[in-house]
A and B are shown apart, each in its own frame.
Chain A
């Protein structure tokens, strides 16, 4: 299934909705602009707010191939762009020797031909297929070091890669590039300048509820309302790591697995590990703090129901 690029912000929203991604309007606007202008989209935000998900949804909704480059410290050209298949090259040389057919000039062009080239994500992303140019996801860019960032800068500006033995490979149509960062390090301004920047924030209560019911359709209305209110309350607390959407979904899932239809103190205490990932955060919330928050949540939900009814 191939879908053309969206024509308006509403289209973009609908596109993401079809992929079960509930985006807020600011994100849809930036994404729409990025697609229209052919600029990379640079997404920053806390862990677990759905940055990577955007690229995945985009690729399935548009029917494009997803090329993912997971960044890590020490990522280099041979694992990000291309590598020669050394063992095959050696065999080829050996074979040439065995047949006694050693023509140096030919051998060098033979051995360093596309046949022996292993394409890594960045090179793969330059190749379009029938569905059009792929979606290139450069995930957690902050994990690599500055030299790689500088290299990326070069690729993102011209979408071409030069391989000394073969020549320059250029993308006919540039891929849709999505870069994510968890901000464990500041990305250089030069790279940011070339991208459209969007800070992915925690969703509002209303949107989070929407996400929850979309992703976990079987969850009860009461539980989902309470879960969302509880998590929203937690995000107002002074914690080291605030729970993201991914944690909310995990937690709601955990509670349904335990056949809960409403929150209670014990259930919260025993499943808090799905929500908070730092020991001191858990120690702080567990027990009285959680009970207090729960009371608050319950009254809020009742109020909400009263106002709706």
Chain B
């Protein structure tokens, strides 16, 4: 069944058993109405919520004109583009890739190639990839990098909460379980202990999507997407001239759909930068809503401000004072001899707890180390730096 092959190529896990089941199911139901047929296949092939969209699109394209598909998959013409692309503007990119993939006969061959390729990627090509600047990557390298980013996990930094959990080595007596145990034991009250439970604090990410950042911001969006889907209590914002909250858009598991949603929501792609104004907007309308309970703030920006850093220091100070840690990730830092000369950077720097570069995969991976071993902020360091400035 070509349809199953298409789905598999698009990234759905469709085993042979599933295909057999599907054929049986179709036989039972009979090819009557399109609707019945759709749900019949749906029930067979889709087993996770986030696969829904992919299936939906694949179904409609494939069953509209199976001939075209046959031609495509059979004719080994990798260069053919899907004609419907224009009418299906929102066609899923992964699906499009799958349609363009080499034809059926070449499939097996390619699979073995794929395995080899994967193996090599894990060693050398990843090494190489790690050091290439995002800016200098080719399209293919970007695809690989995106894949690597999707695998990136933020190790969860823990801070003690005020809740307790049972722990025999804890330092507080857990009266409740002690007394319960007392009723079970013969003649004494065995002491049970507890210790504070640990939990990771909320994370707030502010990503610059202005013109000067355009090459990096795509990568950062992928980064933000993988983090948003990896852990709870994450808030994501993008800014150039205006601030936009994209947390809900990024929640979508499918990265292409999530980014489409973001693109719809954001109107100032690659515009100028008004960091000061955007931070002010964040401070005034969002900080009190998302920075509760000791959040960590990540700023992903190059610090080049169109408005010559007007009021920026002020807003940065406020932000720094209302967050547990303020970490600035700046892709410009990679240049040797980078000096914070731009007014924006000079205004922001004194208030940042950690200043990191992030122009390639390696630095993003390093960032995860920083987040997992956060030292407590030195008390008073902020005000001292403020004065020194």
Contacts and interface: CB of A to CB of B under 8 A. Distances in A.
A78 B288 contact: no
10 contacts: A76-B163, A84-B179, A86-B179, A107-B183, A143-B292, A183-B289, A185-B293, A186-B290, A240-B284, A240-B318
A123 to B, nearest CB: 16
Contacts of B233: 146
B175 A86 contact: yes
B136 interface: no
Contacts of B162: 73-74
A226 interface: no
Nearest to A74: B162
B47 interface: no
Interface string B218-258: 00000000000000110000000000000000000000000
A89 interface: yes
A104 interface: yes
Contacts of A107: 183
Interface in B259-304: 283-284, 288-293
Contact of B288 (A90, A145, A184): A184
A285 B358 CA distance: 41
Nearest to B314: A280
A172 interface: no
Nearest to A83: B176
A74 B198 CA distance: 11
Nearest to A165: B180
B158 to A, nearest CB: 14
B288 A183 contact: yes
Contact of B161 (A74, A90, A240): A74
Given A73-B161, A107-B183, A145-B161, A78 B176 contact: yes
A89 to B, nearest CB: 6
Contacts of B291: 184
A195 interface: no
A73 B201 CA distance: 12
Contacts of B283: 240
A142 interface: yes
B69 to A, nearest CB: 40
Nearest to A97: B187
Contacts of B179: 84, 86, 89-90, 111
Interface range on chain B: under 10, 10 to 19, 20 to 34, or 35 or more?
20 to 34
Contacts of A73: 161-162, 293
Contacts of A184: 288-289, 291-292
Interface of B: 161-164, 175-176, 179, 182-183, 189, 199, 202, 232-233, 283-284, 288-293, 314, 318
Interface residues of A, number: 25
Contacts of A142: 292
A108 B284 CA distance: 56
Interface in A4-33: none
The 6 closest A-B pairs by CB, nearest first: A74-B162, A184-B292, A185-B292, A86-B175, A108-B183, A183-B289
A252 B318 CA distance: 30
Given A73-B161, A240-B283, 6 more contacts: A74-B161, A90-B189, A107-B183, A182-B288, A183-B289, A184-B288
A254 interface: no
A93 interface: yes
B183 A185 contact: no
A122 B4 CA distance: 54
B183 to A, nearest CB: 4
B182 A93 contact: yes
Contacts of A89: 179
A104 B289 contact: no
Contacts of B284: 240
Contacts of A146: 232-233
A145 B183 contact: no
A74 B163 contact: yes
Nearest to A107: B183
Contacts of A111: 179, 183
A305 to B, nearest CB: 35
